[in-house]
Amino acid sequence: MARKSLEQLEAQANAALPDNNSGLISPADVRTMIADLLETIAPAYGGARIYSHLQIVTATPSVLVFQNSIASFPPEWVVDANAGTLTRALNAPALNSRFTINGEVARPAHVHPLPGQGPKTTPELTVELYANDEATGWSSGVTAPGAGDLATFQFTAIEPIVADTIYTLKVSSPTEANYEFKNVLFVGENIPIRSFNTALPDLKIR
């Protein structure tokens, strides 16, 4: 069975479960309706975790590498922690994907700018969600303090699913350094939709 939109379930209920005064509701109709409802709302998600990880970050966005897969429900969600990817399959098109991203980051105690960049500064680190290697616009910026002083980043993103999609987090900073990432979670989950819609309004949830 395939997941359905809520409008599809409503239409199915109206068609298959009419007023029973006519005796037209069969056990099979009720069983199918319940099974389709459970299939639509059944949770499925995928996620990856970083406990503690050093990664060189530059001005060019690079994929954040994870250490462990914490959940994977193939074929809808497939996680490759080493590649930093959460893959979402289109076999359930009646859903959107919701992402929860949070973690901590610190930079080395002394960060020196590249030649011509001016005096040493406290760098701004950007963490952004990418879909099929394209920026989604869902992101969080954080000022990374010195070694041992962790700054928190977090944001939530909602993305429509219209094709098989590989999601990654990419990190960038105008000041190149070996950043320490700790307690990072990258989780994607299914959320039912009212009706099929391939576009979302310009919405940011932070």
Greater pLDDT, 161 or 186: 186
Which of 37-41, 73-77, 83-87 is least confident?
Answer: 37-41
The fraction of the chain above a pLDDT of 70, given in percent, is 81
Q: Max alpha carbon distance in the chain (Å)?
A: 83
The Cα–Cα gap between 190 and 185 comes to: 17
Tell me: pLDDT of 204 over 80: no
What's the mean pLDDT in 64-83?
91
Per the structure block, which two tokens stand in for 206?
């932070």
pLDDT top residue among 146 and 45: 45
Please say if the pLDDT value at position 3 is more than 70: yes
At 54 the pLDDT is 94
What is the DSSP secondary-structure string of 22-60? G----HHHHHHHHHHHHHHH---EEEEEEEEEEEEE-SS
**What's the pTM?**
0.79
In tens, the pLDDT along 118-154 reads 555 556 899 999 999 999 999 999 987 777 789 999 9
Q: What is the CATH architecture assignment of 44-192? A: Sandwich (2.60)
CA dist., res. 132 & res. 85, Å (int) = 10
Of the two residues 183 and 95, the one the predictor is more confident about is: 183
Closest by CA to 176, choosing from 109, 113, 126, 82, is 113
Taking residues 180-191, what's their average pLDDT? 94
Cα–Cα distance, 135 to 130 (Å, whole number): 4
**pLDDT over 80 at 24, yes or no:** no
User: How many angstroms separate the CA atoms of 98 and 91, rounded?
Assistant: 17
Backbone phi, then psi, for 23, in 5-degree steps? 70, 30
* Greater model confidence, 134 or 4: 134
Q: What is the pLDDT of residue 202?
A: 45
What is the per-residue pLDDT for 203? 45
pLDDT per position as a tens digit, 84-131 = 999 998 765 567 899 999 999 987 655 555 555 555 555 689 999 999
Q: Is the dihedral of CA 193, 194, 199, 204 positive or negative?
A: negative
